[in-house]
Amino acid sequence: MRMQNKCAVITGAASGIGARAAVRLAAEGAKCFLMDVNAEGLDATKKQIEQAGGSAVACACDVSDEEAVRAAIEQAAAVFSRIDILVNVAGVQVTKLLTDTTKGDYDRMMDINVGGTFLTMRYVLPLMKAQGSGAIVNCASELAFVGYHELAVYTATKGAMVSLTRSVALEAIPFGVRVNCVCPGATDTPIFWEGETDPDKRRKLLDQVAVEKPIGRLITTDEVANGILFLASDEASGVVGASLIIDGGFTAQ
């Protein structure tokens, strides 16, 4: 197993990409520390990991809250004695025209998407530097590279995450710590559906994906998790500051 004896911290682990990445890391032998504001979802991910024979600790945490992040990382380090992998998936999306986007909307996306990534790295990186090894994988988006209607601020946060990843990668690699990011396209997760339950509206969204995306469908959480596992593993030992785009060809157009 690729992650045997590794200790991994995963944010956004209650659902979607974060949950799938955690389950897959655990299946590869990693001990997982799960962070999310959704305690119920965290428990479900933890249960899934443990039922498959893996090991996980759940920690309800708002990644935009510095004190909460500091305490969570301290807990993870105390439980595992080390942190080998950090996967930053926690994020929110508000779909509005820029002129309809409130300062509150802006602050929420910036504080969680960029701020949460900054805070977890700020507290994990010194531990990884001290141990002389580690891998950080941030989850940005295809929309870091292209504009999109009604997602101006969201795309800005994802672009910032890519830039943050590149710069921190240069700071970290002399200490044996690699920092990279995955950039998924439209993925079959709750953030894509935004709570939409009407079958006709969901069908229209899928029709739009079929037109926009060369692959003709949504990306799966397993496809994104494959990229996360690669970048977090020793197989990516020479990959530093990279953005792995998993978008079915959208940004190739």
Query: What are the residue boundaries of the structural domains of the chain, listed by start?
Result: 7-188+220-252
* Average confidence score pLDDT of the chain: 96
Active-site residue among 106, 123, 148, 154? 154
The string of pLDDT tens digits covering residues 100-125 is 999 999 999 999 999 999 999 999 99
What pLDDT score does 3 carry? 96
What pLDDT score does 196 carry? 65
The string of pLDDT tens digits covering residues 10-52 is 999 999 999 999 999 999 999 999 999 999 999 999 999 999 9
What pLDDT score does 223 carry? 98
Whose structure tokens read 């921190």? 168
Burial 113-144 (b: 16+ CB within 10 A, else e): bbbbbbbbbebbbebbbeeeebbbbbbbbbbb
CATH classification code of 7-188+220-252? 3.40.50.720
200 confidence band (pLDDT: 50, 70, 90): confident
Query: In 10 A of CB 152, how many CB atoms?
Result: 16
Rounded distance, CA 109 to CA 106, Å? 5
What pLDDT score does 192 carry? 81
1 confidence band (pLDDT: 50, 70, 90): confident
pLDDT at 195 over 80: no
8 Å CB contact between 47 and 123: no
Q: Is 169 helix (H, G, I), strand (E, B) or coil?
A: helix
Mean pLDDT within 209-237: 96
Task: Report the candidate in 171, 167, 177 with the shortest Cα–Cα distance to residue 136.
Answer: 177
Rounded distance, CA 109 to CA 151, Å? 11
Mean pLDDT within 176-204: 86
Task: Report the candidate in 50, 14, 52, 58 with the shortest Cα–Cα distance to residue 33.
Answer: 58
pLDDT at 246 over 90: yes
Mean pLDDT within 67-90: 98
pLDDT at 193 over 80: no
What pLDDT score does 217 carry? 94
pLDDT at 202 over 90: no
What pLDDT score does 95 carry? 93
Rounded distance, CA 8 to CA 220, Å? 22
Q: Which amino acid is at 68?
A: A
User: In which element (H, E) is residue 9 found?
Assistant: strand 7-11
Mean pLDDT within 161-165: 98
- For this structure, is 123 an active site residue? no
pLDDT at 139 over 80: yes
Q: What angle do CA 40, 44, 45 make, to 5 degrees?
A: 120
pLDDT at 99 over 90: yes
Query: In 10 A of CB 6, how many CB atoms?
Result: 24
Q: How many residues would you count in the chain? A: 253
Mean pLDDT within 74-103: 97
